C-alpha cells in the first residue's frame, strides 16, 4: 500500500489582545480576525487533506490562479449565522438582530474592493510581466512615469480609486514578491470559491439522498464537505484545476454567482 508523509501545518497568527481576555479565559476575536483566520485555515486544510504521489504537488503547491480557492471558500463560513453560533463563546449572545445586521454589511463597499484588487493585479503585471498601460514605447520615452510609487498613484487615478499622497503602501505588499505577475489569481480564485459555496453549500438543490438528514442546503453538510475534499483538496496541485472544479460543481465554473450575490 502507498505510504504518505503526513503534513505538519502551523498557523502563526498576529491577533489583537483585548482587555477582557483574562476574564473570559481566552482571546475574543473581532469578526475581521475570524474571517482572516478562516482564510488561512483554508490554506492549512489544503495541505492537511492533500494526498499526492509527489511531495512538490501536494497541498498549496498548486497553480497560482487556483491556489487561493480553498482559502476564499473558508471565508464564507464567517458570514453564516449557523457557523457563528457554533464558534461563539457560550457567554456571548448572538441574537438574530445582531447576526442579520452583520451579514447585511458583508458587501458594503464591495465595488471599490473589487476595483482595488484589479488595480493591484495590474500593478503586479506591470512590475513582473509585460503589461504597459501606455505602451512600451512611451515607457522608454518617459521612464520616470514608471517609478513604482508614481505608477501606483497613476493606476489609482485611472481607476478612480482613492490614493493617499505621500504614501508608499505597495512597499509593504508582500504578495507582490510571492506572486510575481500572478496576483490576479487572488481575485480570480474568489470566483471559483463563491461558485462552489453557492452551488454546493448555500443553495438547496434536488441532489438529496432519500432519507438523508444531511441536507444539501446545510452549510455544515458532511456530504458536501467530503465532496470538496475528495474531488478537490485531496489532489493538491496534482490535477488540472478545471477538472477538479467540474467534479465539485458538476459543471464548468462560471462567473454568474460572483455578480449575483442576492
Phi and psi at 129, nearest 5°, equal: -115, -150
- Catalytic site residue 75? no
Q: Rounded to whole angstroms, how far apart are CA atoms 75 and 42?
A: 8
Contact 73, 42 (CB under 8 A): yes
Residue 237's nearest CA partner among 26, 91, 66, 104 is 66
CA distance linking residue 28 with residue 220, whole number of Å: 23
Cell representation of residue 155:
493606476
For 231-255, the DSSP string reads HTGGGTTSS-HHHHHHHHHSS---S
The answer to whether residues 156 and 163 touch, using CB atoms and an 8 Å cutoff, is yes
Which position among 35, 40, 96, 224 bears the catalytic label? Answer: 40
Point out the residues that are catalytic: 40
Amino acid at each position: 500500500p502507498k505510504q504518505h508523509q503526513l503534513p505538519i501545518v502551523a498557523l502563526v497568527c498576529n491577533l489583537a489582545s483585548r482587555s477582557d481576555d483574562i476574564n473570559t479565559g481566552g482571546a475574543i476575536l473581532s469578526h475581521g480576525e475570524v474571517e482572516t483566520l478562516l482564510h488561512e485555515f483554508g490554506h492549512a486544510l489544503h495541505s492537511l487533506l492533500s494526498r499526492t504521489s509527489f511531495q512538490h504537488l501536494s497541498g498549496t503547491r498548486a497553480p497560482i490562479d487556483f491556489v487561493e480557492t480553498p482559502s476564499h471558500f473558508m471565508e464564507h463560513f464567517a458570514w453564516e449565522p449557523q457557523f457563528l453560533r457554533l464558534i461563539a463563546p457560550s457567554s456571548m449572545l448572538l441574537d438574530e438582530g445582531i447576526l442579520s445586521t452583520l451579514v447585511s454589511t458583508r458587501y458594503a463597499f464591495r465595488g471599490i474592493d473589487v476595483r482595488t484588487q484589479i488595480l493591484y493585479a495590474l500593478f503586479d503585471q506591470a512590475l513582473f510581466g509585460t503589461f504597459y498601460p501606455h505602451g512600451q514605447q512611451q515607457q522608454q520615452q518617459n521612464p520616470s512615469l514608471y517609478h513604482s510609487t508614481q505608477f501606483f498613484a497613476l493606476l489609482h487615478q485611472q481607476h478612480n480609486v482613492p490614493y493617499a499622497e505621500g504614501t508608499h503602501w505597495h512597499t509593504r505588499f508582500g504578495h507582490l514578491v510571492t506572486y510575481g505577475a500572478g496576483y490576479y489569481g487572488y481575485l480570480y480564485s474568489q470566483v471559483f470559491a463563491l461558485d462552489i459555496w453557492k452551488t454546493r453549500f448555500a443553495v438547496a438543490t434536488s441532489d438529496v439522498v432519500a432519507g438523508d438528514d444531511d441536507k444539501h442546503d446545510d452549510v455544515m453538510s458532511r456530504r458536501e464537505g467530503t465532496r470538496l475534499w475528495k474531488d478537490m483538496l485531496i489532489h493538491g496541485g496534482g490535477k488540472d484545476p478545471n477538472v477538479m472544479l467540474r467534479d465539485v460543481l458538476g459543471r464548468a465554473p462560471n462567473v454568474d454567482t460572483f455578480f449575483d450575490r442576492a
